[in-house]
A and B are shown apart, each in its own frame.
Chain A
Amino acid sequence: AQKITQTQPGMFVQEKEAVTLDCTYDTSDQSYGLFWYKQPSSGEMIFLIYQGSYDEQNATEGRYSLNFQKARKSANLVISASQLGDSAMYFCAMREGGNYGQNFVFGPGTRLSVLP
């Protein structure tokens, strides 16, 4: 079963508007971390934002915020005031458990295109 689901293969947004990228996850662990990465056409994966399973507040980093709904197992990324440079692939990832043995699991990604 897919541990990370990103149901939007592609998204379009007008410059300066906000956009939400969906991510749902599946885990039976109580302790886990959720991450979002951006991958421009150059290929490098850029870390954007982190949310811990015990964090009570939604994470925010500049124009990025994470809408964390634990009961629904969703961790949507919200990008405010989109810029042309935001055009890229976006990956949601999860790391389970509190020990060192758990590796990252990535979703299939969402390609975001920002229109001028």
Chain B
Amino acid sequence: KAGVTQTPRYLIKTRGQQVTLSCSPISGHRSVSWYQQTPGQGLQFLFEYFSETQRNKGNFPGRFSGRQFSNSRSEMNVSTLELGDSALYLCASSAPLAGSTDTQYFGPGTRLTVL
């Protein structure tokens, strides 16, 4: 079974631009979560989508948004990029069974650099 895939793997943008990152979950997984990882803040939860609905959201400004399609693929968008948005963005998928037992499987990440 193929793992979680993320595209692109690397991205360089300038301040003020916007960016869209893509994530394809493991086949059969309907839940997709996004995380931002920086050296200073560690791993921070952005949002989770399940069956095209956002069911959980972290503490990030509205510039960060996402969506999920009917095939469970998800996109994350960041508008008006700031230098502090430079980070590794990780996507994870899971097959919800009973909540706390759901294991998340991560993709390789997209490394975003904002200049």
Binding site for B on A (CB under 8 A): 29, 31-33, 35, 37, 42-47, 50, 52-53, 91, 95-106, 108-109
Contacts and interface: CB of A to CB of B under 8 A. Distances in A.
A103 B106 CA distance: 14
Contacts, number: 72
Interface residues on B, range: 20 to 34
B106 A50 contact: no
Given A42-B108, A109-B42, A47 B103 contact: yes
A42 B90 CA distance: 12
Interface in B3-46: 31, 33, 35, 42-43, 45
B100 A106 contact: no
A102 B104 CA distance: 13
B111 interface: yes
The residue among A52, A95, A98 with the most chain B CB atoms within 10 A of its own CB is A95
B88 interface: yes
Interface in B40-57: 42-43, 45, 48, 50, 55-56
A33 B100 contact: yes
B45 A95 contact: no
B55 A101 contact: yes
A53 B100 contact: yes
Nearest to A99: B99
